[in-house]
Structure 1
Amino acid sequence: MSISAYKLKDGTTRYRVRFTKPDGTRTDERGFKTKALAGKREAELKLGAAPKANEAPLRAFKPRLEKRLSRRTPGTQDVYLKALTNHVIPQWGHRRASTITRQEVQSWIDNEGYGRSVATRNLSLLKQLLDCAGVDKADNPVSYIDKPDRARREKLYLTFDQLETLASATRTRQHEVMVYLLGTSGPRWGEAAGLRIKDLSPNDNTLHIWQSASVVRNEVVLGRPKNGKDRWISIPTFVKDMLQELTRGRAQNAPLFLSHDGGYLRRPKGRSWYDGAKKRANKIDQNIPTQLRIHDLRHTAASLMVSNGANIKVVQHQLGHATATETLDRYSDLFREDLSSATSAFDSLFSGGQDVGTGHSDGAV
């Protein structure tokens, strides 16, 4: 066994432990922030972590975790099951839970080159697998693992005029209405695609979001919305009028938006109606980016709601976020005017004869 230092791309020093596996092959574990931590791991490897008596390998708990995952939406379930089968079980399935250390898990994440989202998903699966194996929450080695930095992607927002240009650049009435719905009211694509005609209230400007349409292995599958809860969202009057016109004479149980085969509409990918609409809209207004994702229409809806005075709880409800904190975290850049208002309020509060430097008003102690 040996310990050696190496450099990351940013110049940071890390340490690796080289050792021989039971099958005689040489390998190493990397990512130790200090030589002391590497030394501690070296000592563990020398002693050899022994599994508990009659402890089953982690692959034995895969069916239990698959049952847990069945509560997820079909699309999410499919992604997680693939990751479990292709990433987590091949790496950890042969191991006993009591022999896995935090440093091994950290080394796995550091060396595989996963992006932030993939690392987060795979760590979640391993943590749940260990939980299924009976590992206490406090002892779970997946806790406190350093994840890769999140790739920063600027949110793209359209003005209402730009949204109107994009909607007009579609070539069917259905696609035009879909762009307006996503860009003004903010449902997720799957939530909008999963709507039925009966989900449009005849009494007011609301839509019932209660299911989501996802494509799983090239088949459209219906499931619950992302957070598992249904909700009613508000839509502008002109969007309701367009929806009623679009669906007139059709059965109430039929999809609100129809695919070519009469089923639920699939998310546009590649050279699709949406891709064509973006390019045509960009020729009219070059400030409409051709890299605009369909999900950016949801961001646009959040921006339009905030700019028109909607409070954070309304935006949270429309978007289907679990908490207002989640909404604020995702759209903090939209609430800069609130900061300006706070600045004005502070200026008014502290300008009335107060010495801001000392925190005392005139004549007061």
Structure 2
Amino acid sequence: MSVQKYTTAKGTRWRVLFTTPDGTRTQKRGFLTKTAAKAWETKQASDILTGQWVSNSGGNSSLAELGDEWIKRKNYLKPSSMPPLTNAYWNHVRPKWGNTRIKDIRHSDIAAWVDGLTTLNGDRPLSATGKRYAHQVLSSILRDAVKDGLIPSNPAEGVTLPRKNKKQNTYLTAAQLHHFASQCGDHELLVLLLGYTGMRWGEAIALTGDDVNTVTRRISITKNAVWVNGHIKVGTPKTHENRTVPIPRFLARRVAEAAVGKGDCLLFPDSHGGYLPRPSSSSSNWFANAAKRAGVYPLTPHDLRHTAASLAVHTGANVKVIQRMLGHSSAVETLNRYADLFDSDLDEVAEKLDALARESGFA
């Protein structure tokens, strides 16, 4: 950096020549005194060294300029993960903030915006999940702007977000699961596998005959088929990691028979040989009707995944085994999701500690 004097029609002025962190040579003009120029130079040098430097003009970029590029960069996400983000951006974030310069976006304004978000037709408040998605998108765009040195801090950080009402997990007993499956007709085997292995719906409908190993009684999960905007998208499992799940012995023969001659053909196709659609929340599909007949309505396919976790816990399986079976990214995720299933373990620990104390003569 250097400070130089120059002359204008209004008299002597001072400027600072400096190089930005990206190597651009630029200057700041118009200082009335050398002292003011030197003070500004010192501040810039300090900000560059500490990583706090912010471009003088970067904050003039509109949110839309950065946001449109941000959405394009998200093409690495799984197809099922994109719609919530794109909907939040195009329906809520861009209409409100698109023409706003990022340096003019204030924390209090964001807080008020989140609090007042409504559905598209404006007839009711947006759900807690919807508000959180909208805030997540705006915050992510602004976070990138901070990293690029366009603004000094992210005004979306620290905004109070509405709490999501956590849905109570539904767990079927083994008897309920078998009774429900018996009401599902041609889908009985699929339902039993979902309830005993914990496969996701998309993983189950993507299975082919080649994925079944009848010798080891294992199923290889390498694919996940999801419906996005009416079209099927086949990709890797949710965590991008392949895994195998065990087939209970009583189901092994039926699974083996179902896989005979299938090869790379779907194990559980629809009536036309294609991917079986996930039962909707409607009360008039085969899944819902079977649940009503079995006395377990309302029930969703994902509740069968919860059921598999519950049955595994009751067999005494440890959390790492359940994590691998369900394909969670970590045991922490498993514990957080199914903490209620492990409550009985606390009583068991207490009993064992009591027995240990008694054996040692301290009780």
Give the TM-score band, short-chain normalised.
0.7 to 0.9
Q: What is the correspondence of 1:272-283 to structure 2 with a 5 Å cutoff?
A: 272-282=285-295
Q: Hey, what does 1:182 align to over in structure 2?
A: 194
Give the Cα–Cα distance (whole angstroms) in 2 for the partners of residues 343 and 274 of structure 1: 41
Does 2:159 correspond to 1:159? Answer: no
Does 2:84 correspond to 1:99? Answer: no
Q: Hey, what does 2:266 align to over in structure 1?
A: 255
1:295 partner amino acid: H
Does 2:307 correspond to 1:300? Answer: yes
Q: What is the correspondence of 1:303-342 to structure 2 with a 5 Å cutoff?
A: 303-342=310-349
How far does the alpha carbon of each residue in 1:177-212 deviate from its partner, in whole angstroms, 9 at most, with x for none? 111111111011111122222122243122222221
Give the Cα–Cα distance (whole angstroms) in 1 for the partners of residues 220 and 300 of structure 2: 24
SS in 1 for 2:227: strand
Higher Cα Rg, which structure:
2
1:71 partner amino acid: Y
2:104 partner amino acid: T
Q: Hey, what does 2:28 align to over in structure 1?
A: none
Q: Hey, what does 1:4 align to over in structure 2?
A: none
How far apart are 1:299 and its partner, in Å? 0.5
Normalising by the residue count of structure 1, what TM-score does the alignment of the two structures yield?
Answer: 0.75
SS in 2 for 1:213: strand
Give the Cα–Cα distance (whole angstroms) in 2 for the partners of residues 298 and 60 of structure 1: 42
How far apart are 1:344 and its partner, in Å? 1.6
Does 2:361 correspond to 1:347? Answer: no
Give the Cα–Cα distance (whole angstroms) in 2 for the partners of residues 254 and 307 of structure 1: 35
Contact 1:196 1:254 in 2 (8 A): yes
How far apart are 1:309 and its partner, in Å? 0.8
Equivalent position to 2:235, from 223, 231, 236: 223
How far does the alpha carbon of each residue in 1:316-347 deviate from its partner, in whole angstroms, 9 at most, with x for none? 11111111111111111111221012212333
How far apart are 1:166 and its partner, in Å? 0.5
Does 2:218 correspond to 1:214? Answer: no
Matched-pair identity in %: 34
Contact 1:64 1:132 in 2 (8 A): no
Structure-2 change in CA distance of 1:227 and 1:96 (3 Å) = farther
2:267 partner amino acid: L
SS in 2 for 1:85: helix
Give the Cα–Cα distance (whole angstroms) in 2 for the partners of residues 260 and 63 of structure 1: 41
Structure-2 change in CA distance of 1:68 and 1:225 (3 Å) = farther
How far does the alpha carbon of each residue in 1:109-144 deviate from its partner, in whole angstroms, 9 at most, with x for none? 212233332222222211222234345798222222
Structure-2 change in CA distance of 1:308 and 1:90 (3 Å) = same
How far apart are 1:69 and its partner, in Å? 2.3
SS in 1 for 2:278: coil
More divergent stretch after superposition (80-89 vs 159-168):
80-89
Q: What is the correspondence of 1:7-18 to structure 2 with a 5 Å cutoff?
A: none
Structure 1 gap segments, 5+ residues each: 1-50, 283-287, 356-365
Structure-2 change in CA distance of 1:253 and 1:143 (3 Å) = same
Contact 1:220 1:266 in 2 (8 A): no
CA RMSD of aligned residues (A): 2.2
Equivalent position to 1:75, from 67, 70, 80: 80
Does 2:73 correspond to 1:59? Answer: no
Q: What is the correspondence of 1:25-44 to structure 2 with a 5 Å cutoff?
A: none
Give the Cα–Cα distance (whole angstroms) in 1 for the partners of residues 256 and 250 of structure 2: 10
How far apart are 1:153 and its partner, in Å? 2.3
Give the Cα–Cα distance (whole angstroms) in 2 for the partners of residues 244 and 138 of structure 1: 61
Give the Cα–Cα distance (whole angstroms) in 1 for the partners of residues 299 and 204 of structure 2: 18
Contact 1:190 1:214 in 2 (8 A): yes
How far apart are 1:349 and its partner, in Å? 4.9
Structure-2 change in CA distance of 1:346 and 1:279 (3 Å) = same
Give the Cα–Cα distance (whole angstroms) in 2 for the partners of residues 226 and 109 of structure 1: 29
SS in 1 for 2:233: strand
Give the Cα–Cα distance (whole angstroms) in 2 for the partners of residues 178 and 120 of structure 1: 34
Corresponding residue pairs, total:
296
2:163 partner amino acid: D
How far apart are 1:61 and its partner, in Å? 2.2
Q: Hey, what does 1:139 align to over in structure 2?
A: 153
Q: Hey, what does 1:22 align to over in structure 2?
A: none
SS in 2 for 1:240: helix
Structure-2 change in CA distance of 1:101 and 1:311 (3 Å) = same
Does 2:140 correspond to 1:128? Answer: yes
Give the Cα–Cα distance (whole angstroms) in 2 for the partners of residues 171 and 165 of structure 1: 11
Give the Cα–Cα distance (whole angstroms) in 2 for the partners of residues 102 and 300 of structure 1: 43
Structure 2 gap segments, 5+ residues each: 1-54, 118-124
Does 2:245 correspond to 1:233? Answer: yes
More divergent stretch after superposition (264-273 vs 104-113):
104-113
How far does the alpha carbon of each residue in 1:251-273 deviate from its partner, in whole angstroms, 9 at most, with x for none? x2212210222111110112211
